[in-house]
A and B are shown apart, each in its own frame.
Chain A
Amino acid sequence: MLKKITLQISHGIHKAFLFLTTGKTALICAILYLLLSFLLVYASPRSLIAFLMFLSAILLVYYLKIDNRIKFSFAVIIALILIPIFGVRNIFYLEVIFQISVFSALALGLNIVVGFAGLLDLGYVAFYAVGAYLWAIFGSQQLFMLHSIPGTQPATDKFFLPANMFYLFIIGGVLVAGLTGVLLGLPVLRLRGDYLAIVTLGFGEVIRVLANNLDKPLNLTNGPQGITPIQRPTLPEPILNIIRVVLNPIVGHDVTIGEFYNLFFYLAALVIVIIVIVVARHLDDSKVGRAWTAIREDETAAIAMGIPLVRLKLAAFAAGASFAGVMGVLLSASRTFISPESFSFMQSIGVLSMVILGGLGSIPGVIVGAAVVVVLNLQVLQSFSLYLSQLRQSEAVIPIINFAWKNLSNQLDPAKYQRMLFGLILIIMMIYRPGGLIPAARRKRELKADVIEPIEAESVAEGEVNHGSA
């Protein structure tokens, strides 16, 4: 009975989904919804609900069943026109979208290791750190200070490398992080799943401890104080002036160089994410991807089928690591400051919770997971904290238990409880929906086999009965 009801509900959702995504009406509705949400975000740059509407509008457009060229032009309009406009109006939104892009790339990288190849990597953030420190060391004045104690000011204001070497280091980040992935992968790949997880956790911690302590004997990382300033690539002034002519009247104020940098890094992150998505999709559909799936499902059988186990596992580590490395380079340039704090175990688990929430092995799922976790972290928890602190200042009282809000401890600050959020995501998803919010296509087929088949079987049986009676 219960099963039938849930089936009915899921069919209902499916129908509603079809209705929302097919046909001309749906297209027009989606456009209107997108424009409405954009106007709301534009008009009230502080509203969380408007921003969530905008994100959901993007998701709706993604699922529209229309010609791919139209969809592509939608994407271009959203990414290059709509987001920059309200992003410059309220730089916080741009930051949120930048972080969504960064974490999407990280989550996609981890998804290759965990989702495709089935190797649980708990130290993934180490590769991010490798990329970040690569540009931080070469793109700052750190190399002039190898022999001085942390905290001393450099003698010159000259940088070691010109700022535009950044573009070269984007490639460098891919290579170095990939190489690190291979090096870390080599000794541990013989290990079975759960041991591998703990050992990779160890590697993550090793990288963090090294970053913390390599200020002696040679001051390479400047220790816990971190490295700053790190160069950003130069932006050509003439082009900025041209953009200003268009953007200033729409935004309503003179666009500063800092805002241009935010825009630049947003676009750079977007380009990298798109490349990462394309690479990940191609990997998933390739011979390598199928071999990874085989390894994930049954290692012994995969070996028996002639799959070169070690080489493919190393490839998964290297591919995943390189995605993180490139984002690390981008991060250190965009923040101009890097410290070991940013690469803790919690960050690794944060990325893991994005992958688990979205769906292991599912590319759109992982991106949605990254978006949800970033929005929860940066916006929902923050605004909840803000709301609580407002309540604390008011004279309000909780009705039934007669507890005054102002007596509430200052420590009850939801924005600080990310670990709890990550933990809850991991537990709840593992128990109730191990496939994630948007299960991978292959997994969906497996799940469908359980759910849809009874109906088909029933209708077939009925058909046979009818046939027999006729």
Chain B
Amino acid sequence: MRRIVISPVLREILRPIGQIIIFVSGSGAVLSALLLLIAFLLRGSAVDQATFEHNKIGIFAYTLVNLPQVLIDGVTIGFVYAAIALGYTMVYGVLEFINFAHSEIFAIGAFVGVEILIALDNAGKLSGLSIWGAYGMVIIAIIGGMIASGGMAMLMEFVAYRPLRGAPRLVPLISAIGVSFFLQDAIRLTESLTTGQFNRIFPTFGNFSERFTLARLGLAGQVVDVNIQYKSVMVIMAAVLMLVGLNYLVNATRLGKAIRAVAQDRPTASLMGINVNRIISLTFLIGGSLGGAAGVLYALKFTKIDPFIGFFPGLKAFTAAVLGGIGNITGALLGGIVLGMLETFAGSYLSIFTMGAAGAEYKDILAFAILILVLIFRPSGLLGEQVGQKA
């Protein structure tokens, strides 16, 4: 058998795409199977009857009919979590430190991106755009958000973390919590000083909110349309691009090699002529700009943003990073997708399965439940062999 030889550059680009396909389809299949199993076991119970009264179909059929749409939504939000989780995991890999303020870096990205679009909207540049023009505008907003977030992350590292390097572990963490709180109010102050209120709405333009039919399936005797919004496609595309780009950067460039070296052993890396401070700054820059891009994507998907939006996505992304194995880029991707799916499952099915006793409002704390379970039973995460000793 002849081994297929491809260039290492191509390999580093193709491998993450393959991983993404495997992760999405694999975790989608496993989680759906589990969900359907639960629904199957609930047949004939009081839950089944209640569902039948409300929806005219049994619990199993209801679950099956809704599943494709739920999966699509789960994958979309999962990619956003994965993109944020990359920032946590990179910083953790290099400094072994939870950058608690990464959630505000995310929020800053969202605000800068939306402010750019609002400014363009006020200048009349957003009306009458072609579809490709609209995509171009969003890309401009994403780049703006990336620059602002990356710069802020670097500044944050320089001001609040660098003086504390070498201090006991909890000291920089407490400082990071302080930075997080400070930035929340700093965003609120800047936003409210200009217009008197601190919420922002993503301007409506282009065809982002429209849906198109991805597939038409025959499930449980019904014809089910699986729809997807254009903006979800955009979110997924952008997140995949970022993941592939980061993977290439870390695994196939000189800079990536230096980052890996610093992550493995800082003193030795410094002896090998690597400027450790510069690498750490760059790590914050890269992680921060990915977080900022995720922020703009989040704003695109959910439209309304406020200075505190970072908190829950940040914690969930951290959970995703831990779930996949913190310090591990592939792990962050897997963790994000799994967490996104679990969360949408909980949001869509929990109230049906518990007959309304516990509903979608518990999906925010689902992430904590997962975090606790992972930390107790498998602290190195799903793919976390590499950092087994550190964690």
- A residues lining the B interface (CB < 8 Å): 118, 120, 122, 187-188, 190-195, 197-199, 201-203, 205-206, 209, 212-213, 216-217, 345-346, 349, 352-353, 356, 409-412, 417, 419-420, 422-427, 430-431, 434
Q: What are the residues of chain A within 8 A of B170 when measuring CB–CB? A: 118, 120, 193-194, 197
Contact of B193 among A194, A346, A411, A423 (CB under 8 A): A411
Which of B174, B185, B192, B315 gathers most chain A CB within 10 Å?
Answer: B174
Q: What are the residues of chain A within 8 A of B358 when measuring CB–CB? A: 213
B92 to chain A, nearest CB (A): 9
Which 8 A-B residue pairs are closest in the complex by CB-CB distance?
A426-B178, A423-B182, A202-B368, A423-B181, A411-B192, A420-B185, A427-B178, A430-B175
Q: Does B98 contact A (CB under 8 A)?
A: yes
Q: What are the residues of chain A within 8 A of B177 when measuring CB–CB? A: 122, 349, 352, 423, 426
Let me know if A419 and B163 touch, CB within 8 A: no
Bound form: Cα–Cα A353–B192 in Å? 26
- Mask of B147-180 contacts with A, CB within 8 angstroms, 1/0: 0000000000000100110010111111101111
Contact of A213 among B97, B198, B311, B362 (CB under 8 A): B362
Let me know if B375 and A195 touch, CB within 8 A: yes
Q: Does B361 contact A (CB under 8 A)?
A: yes
Write 28 A-B pairs (CB below 8 A) sorted by A numbering.
Answer: A197-B173, A198-B98, A199-B368, A202-B365, A202-B367, A202-B368, A205-B368, A209-B365, A216-B356, A217-B357, A345-B311, A349-B181, A356-B174, A409-B194, A411-B192, A411-B196, A417-B185, A419-B182, A423-B177, A423-B178, A423-B181, A423-B184, A424-B182, A426-B175, A426-B178, A426-B181, A427-B175, A431-B163
Contact of A187 among B160, B169, B198, B376 (CB under 8 A): B376
Q: What are the residues of chain B within 8 A of A410 when measuring CB–CB? A: 196
Q: Does B364 contact A (CB under 8 A)?
A: yes
Which of B97, B197, B376 gathers most chain A CB within 10 Å?
Answer: B376
**In the complex, which residues 176-235 of chain B have their Cβ closer than 8 Å to any Cβ of chain A?**
177-186, 188-189, 192-194, 196-198
Q: Given that A417-B185, A430-B171 are contacting pairs, would A216 and B361 also be in contact in the complex, using a CB cutoff of 8 Å?
A: no
A68 to chain B, nearest CB (A): 35
Which of B160, B184, B188, B375 gathers most chain A CB within 10 Å?
Answer: B375
Chain B interface mostly helix, strand, loop or mixed?
A: helix
Q: What are the residues of chain A within 8 A of B172 when measuring CB–CB? A: 430
Residue of A nearest to B180 (CB): A423
Q: What are the residues of chain B within 8 A of A412 when measuring CB–CB? A: 189, 192-193
Bound form: Cα–Cα A412–B198 in Å? 12
Q: Does B284 contact A (CB under 8 A)?
A: no
Q: What are the residues of chain A within 8 A of B129 when measuring CB–CB? A: none
Q: Does B379 contact A (CB under 8 A)?
A: yes
Q: Does B81 contact A (CB under 8 A)?
A: no
Q: What are the residues of chain B within 8 A of A201 when measuring CB–CB? A: 315
Q: Does B14 contact A (CB under 8 A)?
A: no
Query: Chain B: how many interface residues by the 8 Å CB criterion?
Result: 50
Bound form: Cα–Cα A423–B175 in Å? 8
B370 to chain A, nearest CB (A): 10
Residue of B nearest to A191 (CB): B375
Bound form: Cα–Cα A288–B322 in Å? 33
Q: Given that A120-B174, A193-B169 are contacting pairs, would A199 and B182 also be in contact in the complex, using a CB cutoff of 8 Å?
A: no
Contact of B315 among A192, A193, A198, A419 (CB under 8 A): A198
B384 to chain A, nearest CB (A): 13
Residue of A nearest to B355 (CB): A217
Residue of B nearest to A217 (CB): B357
- Mask of B307-322 contacts with A, CB within 8 angstroms, 1/0: 0000100010010001
Q: Does B126 contact A (CB under 8 A)?
A: no
Residue of B nearest to A348 (CB): B177
A36 to chain B, nearest CB (A): 37
Q: What are the residues of chain B within 8 A of A197 when measuring CB–CB? A: 98, 170, 173
A180 to chain B, nearest CB (A): 15
Let me know if B193 and A409 touch, CB within 8 A: yes
B77 to chain A, nearest CB (A): 19
Q: Does B38 contact A (CB under 8 A)?
A: no
Q: What are the residues of chain B within 8 A of A434 when measuring CB–CB? A: 167, 171
Which of B197, B311, B372 gathers most chain A CB within 10 Å?
Answer: B372
Contact of A194 among B169, B196, B315, B376 (CB under 8 A): B169
Bound form: Cα–Cα A139–B86 in Å? 48
Which of A217, A352, A423 gathers most chain B CB within 10 Å?
Answer: A423
Q: Given that A187-B372, A197-B170 are contacting pairs, would A202 and B178 also be in contact in the complex, using a CB cutoff of 8 Å?
A: no
Let me know if B192 and A409 touch, CB within 8 A: yes
Bound form: Cα–Cα A430–B97 in Å? 15
Q: Does B279 contact A (CB under 8 A)?
A: no
Let me know if A424 and B361 touch, CB within 8 A: no
Q: What are the residues of chain A within 8 A of B368 when measuring CB–CB? A: 199, 202-203, 205-206
Let me know if B198 and A411 touch, CB within 8 A: yes
Bound form: Cα–Cα A410–B198 in Å? 12
Q: Given that A412-B193, A419-B185, A423-B185 are contacting pairs, would A199 and B175 also be in contact in the complex, using a CB cutoff of 8 Å?
A: no
Let me know if B196 and A422 touch, CB within 8 A: no
Bound form: Cα–Cα A345–B308 in Å? 12
Bound form: Cα–Cα A188–B175 in Å? 23
Residue of A nearest to B373 (CB): A187
Let me know if A352 and B174 touch, CB within 8 A: yes
Q: What are the residues of chain B within 8 A of A118 when measuring CB–CB? A: 170
16 new A-B contacts at CB < 8 Å, known A198-B371, A411-B189, A426-B178:
A120-B170, A187-B376, A188-B372, A195-B379, A197-B173, A198-B315, A202-B365, A206-B365, A209-B362, A349-B177, A409-B192, A419-B184, A419-B185, A422-B178, A423-B182, A430-B167
Bound form: Cα–Cα A310–B357 in Å? 36
Q: What are the residues of chain B within 8 A of A120 when measuring CB–CB? A: 170, 173-174
B101 to chain A, nearest CB (A): 9
Q: What are the residues of chain B within 8 A of A194 when measuring CB–CB? A: 97-98, 169-170, 173
Q: What are the residues of chain A within 8 A of B160 when measuring CB–CB? A: 427, 430-431
A253 to chain B, nearest CB (A): 40
Bound form: Cα–Cα A442–B160 in Å? 27
Let me know if A191 and B379 touch, CB within 8 A: yes
Residue of A nearest to B160 (CB): A427
A336 to chain B, nearest CB (A): 27
Which of B177, B315, B379 gathers most chain A CB within 10 Å?
Answer: B177
Residue of A nearest to B185 (CB): A420
